[in-house]
Chain A
Amino acid sequence: MVSHNHTNATVRLKGLSDKKKTALAGYLFISPFFLLFAIFGAFPMLFSFYLAFQKWNGFGEMTFVGVKNFSLIFTDPLFWKSIYNTIVIGLLGTGPQLIAALILAVALNSAMVKFKSVFRVAYFVPNVTSIVAVAIVFTVLFSEQEAGLVNATLSLFGISPVSWQTSEWGAKIAIATMIFWRWVGYNSIIFLAGLQSIPKDLYEAAEIDGAKKWQQFLFITVPMLKPIIVFVVFTATIGSLQIFAEPLIFGSGFREESMTIVLYLWREAFSNNAFGTASATAVSLFLLIIVFTTINFFASNRLDKSGK
């Protein structure tokens, strides 16, 4: 019986034209993605939008509550605090970091540097370290004790100990430092790849015209790197909006001064069993990402126009 079916199928396949067989194989080869995406990507995403309008504790009945979940989170000061925190930590962690990465890249690109590959490895190794490990190490580095390494170092400069984990700015600076540390080398190597692709004769021509080094940097290096800078800023923005592990581990739970949007979402869902408001938070995060991406998009477009 089985072999009979098999022969039938083979005969049918042989009857197909070559073109049809190719098309069939094409659909077959791409189907695993669409299958998995339907179950674990598209459906959950759409269901999040549905859940955002329901009241649900995870096991009982769902009840439709209209926009109440949104009004609940929008009137919760902690929700707004979490958005504020996310933006502040994101800016602190990426702004200075990208500038430092660019400086390191320019330094590494200089012809006179020896042991370039050693530096590359040293700068890159933080990025191989997991966020959990980074957050644990920095929790101890930024210990609130006087003897914490960062506090002890600051005291050498006459600065009194900072309560890193429980103060408004302390927590943000410590978390931003983790992000800085883990990504600065990575981004500097991306910038370095960009620098190496800038034709040398541009600099030679500028040199002949009497342009100083900083002028060359401002009028050749930065414009030529623009596509890479735009890309890095895009990814850094989206990554910043999704910060979760660092504040969870560093703040040992859900402290107000280090609450981020994803942490707020996670707490609503898996600590408070409020899956409706958690989904409303997820939808808000999605909209926020769209807003920030659009801002980035228009900013880079405007930069493009003013550059020409």
Chain B
Amino acid sequence: MLRKKGFVNKVTIHVLLIIGALLSVFPLYWMFVMATQPNHVINKLPPAVVPGDKLVENFRNVLENVDFFGAMWNSFVVASLTTLGVLFFSSLAGFAFAKLQFKGREKLFAVILITMMIPPQLGLIPQYFIITKLGWLNDLKAIIIPGLVNAFGIFWMRQYIKDAIPDELIEAAKIDGCSIFRVYWNIVVPSILPAFATLGILTFMFVWNDFLWPLTVLRDESSYTIQIAIRALQDAYVKDYGMILSGTFWATLPLVVVFLMFNKLFISSLTQGSVKQ
């Protein structure tokens, strides 16, 4: 009797989980299906649920409408440079807050924590005019430079460095005559590689997927990131959904593939980032 109940439970739980997983993956699969279908299929009953034969043609139409690879490259440049900046400047500041003694350290750190609570939309309009004044409109600098270091990164690095590196190690290196930057470079950096991986994934994903700020400051097609480019595809007057979803599918694929390859690292990075906060 008990065993039978256990079996029923097991089946119920698995059915629930499988339905959840199918619903979770289906829109992505269906995005691929639509990317391979001609436009008129969208109004056909019953709806298409298996791939068609327009994979190449739809993507060729994408290339005719937007500079797809240019936008991919822009996204890659913006996300990589921002990530590098965040890793460097956040770990440097995190190191200072965790291990260096200076006046006002705790207060300044508290200020950084408070800035995390400010909603990004509050300063959006003046930010836009600052970028205009600097002549950075339609320039990738407008995305990269303001993003080079952020409060969350500093907070994250400080917590990690605090626990990862014993104070004695730093003192010993200083006595040996290492400059403080050398201590950072030769001792801190090699010991915080896992924190770099986590913060790097978080930052790269965030910048790659960001929409509001790039939409505000990148108005010229040559400066579009991939998110703005696929939005432009969708915003066109004549809607060819095979083409729109083809662009969306190929824009989504790279990150999904990287995610599948390193899924453990991704999941732990993205969730740790929020649980520890």
Contact = CB atoms under 8 A, between A and B. Distances in A.
Given A23-B103, A131-B211, A278-B125, A126 B252 contact: no
Contacts of B44: 147
B69 to A, nearest CB: 17
Contact of B121 (A30, A140, A148, A242): A242
Nearest to B34: A140
Bin the interface of chain A by size.
Answer: 35 or more
Interface in B1-39: 6, 9-10, 13-14, 16-17, 20-21, 23-25, 27-28, 30-31, 34
Contacts of B166: none
Interface string B200-240: 00000100110110001000000000010011001100000
B122 A45 contact: yes
Contact of A29 (B93, B259, B277): B93
Contacts of B190: none
A41 to B, nearest CB: 6
A250 B124 CA distance: 22
Contacts of B127: 40, 44
A181 interface: yes
B42 A147 contact: yes
Q: Which of A129, A131, A265, A286 has the most C-beta atoms of chain B within 10 angstroms of its own C-beta? A: A129
Given A26-B96, A29-B92, A29-B96, A130 B17 contact: no
B7 to A, nearest CB: 10
B47 A147 contact: yes
Contacts of B277: 231
Contacts of A132: 209, 211, 227, 230-231, 248
Interface string A136-150: 111111010111110
Contacts of B212: 244-245, 262, 266
Nearest to B43: A147
Interface in A46-95: 47-48, 51, 58
Q: Is the interface of A mostly helix, strand, loop or mixed?
A: helix
Contact of B21 (A119, A129, A145, A194): A119
A19 B101 contact: yes
Given A40-B127, A47-B123, A285-B121, A147 B100 contact: no
B118 interface: yes
A33 to B, nearest CB: 5
Nearest to B20: A104
Given A107-B17, A108-B17, A130-B208, A23 B101 contact: yes
Nearest to A108: B17
A125 B256 contact: yes
Given A29-B92, A29-B93, A127-B270, A140 B42 contact: yes
Interface in B238-277: 241, 244-245, 248, 251-252, 255-256, 259-260, 263-264, 266-267, 270-271, 274-275, 277
Interface residues of B, number: 92
Interface in A236-252: 238, 241-242, 244-245, 249, 252
Contacts of B227: 130, 132
A32 interface: yes
Nearest to A265: B121
Interface stretch (B55-63, B144-152, B191-199): B144-152
A1 interface: no
Contacts of A29: 92-93, 95-96, 100, 184
A37 B146 CA distance: 8
B162 interface: no
A293 B184 CA distance: 38
A26 B256 contact: no
Interface in A166-211: 181, 184-186, 189-190, 193-194
A56 to B, nearest CB: 9
Shortest beta-carbon contacts, A-B, top 6:
A44-B123, A44-B126, A26-B102, A23-B102, A26-B100, A122-B21
24 contacts: A22-B101, A26-B100, A29-B92, A32-B92, A33-B151, A39-B130, A45-B118, A47-B126, A48-B125, A113-B13, A126-B27, A127-B270, A129-B252, A129-B255, A133-B252, A136-B244, A147-B45, A147-B46, A147-B47, A148-B42, A186-B271, A189-B267, A265-B121, A285-B121
Interface of B: 6, 9-10, 13-14, 16-17, 20-21, 23-25, 27-28, 30-31, 34, 42-47, 89, 92-93, 95-97, 100-103, 105, 108, 112, 115, 117-130, 145-146, 148-151, 154, 174, 180-181, 184, 205, 208-209, 211-212, 216, 227, 230-231, 234-235, 241, 244-245, 248, 251-252, 255-256, 259-260, 263-264, 266-267, 270-271, 274-275, 277
